[in-house]
Amino acid sequence: MTDAEYVSHFRGMPETYAPKRRDYPLSNLNDGRRLVRVRCSYYKRAHCYFPDDLIQIFGDVDVDSLACRMKCENGKDHGRLDVEAFSPTGREAVGLRIRRLVAIKINRVPVWSDG
Ligand SMILES: [Zn+2]
């Protein structure tokens, strides 16, 4: 293996470990003033959330995994949501509307037994 071959081989390595590389739990965002922005590409609108609120619902999961866990409330067929962590700075923070968790409703599902 020449030096050039070795370098290209080495550079290719991180792709192999892609799932591990992006592991980034929500609790990591609490050290700063970071928020989570969730955008529906179909509905073309975004909502901002506090990581703590999302932890109450989903647990301390990987930020990227929210793309699959969350569903657009305007249509279940809107597909994967675009999720990113960000820290609002200066102008962006002014007037930024952040969704707060008001309550978690539990669906009551009847289970029947024909006896
Ligand atoms: Zn949508």
CA of 88 to the centre of ligand 1 (A): 23
Sheet arrangement for strand 82-86: 82-86, 35-40, 45-49, 98-99
CA of 42 to the centre of ligand 1 (A): 5
Give the model's pLDDT for residue 79: 86
Domain residue ranges of the chain, discontinuous segments joined by +: 20-97
Distance CA 49, CA 32 (A): 14
CA of 58 to the centre of ligand 1 (A): 19
Distance CA 31, CA 68 (A): 25
CA of 53 to the centre of ligand 1 (A): 20
Higher pLDDT, 22 or 16: 22
Give the model's pLDDT for residue 17: 46
Across 16-32, average pLDDT: 70
CA of 81 to the centre of ligand 1 (A): 8
- What are 53-100's pLDDT values in tens digits? 999 999 999 999 999 899 998 888 898 899 999 998 888 888 899 999
Beta-bridge partner residues of 45 = 40
Higher pLDDT, 20 or 51: 51
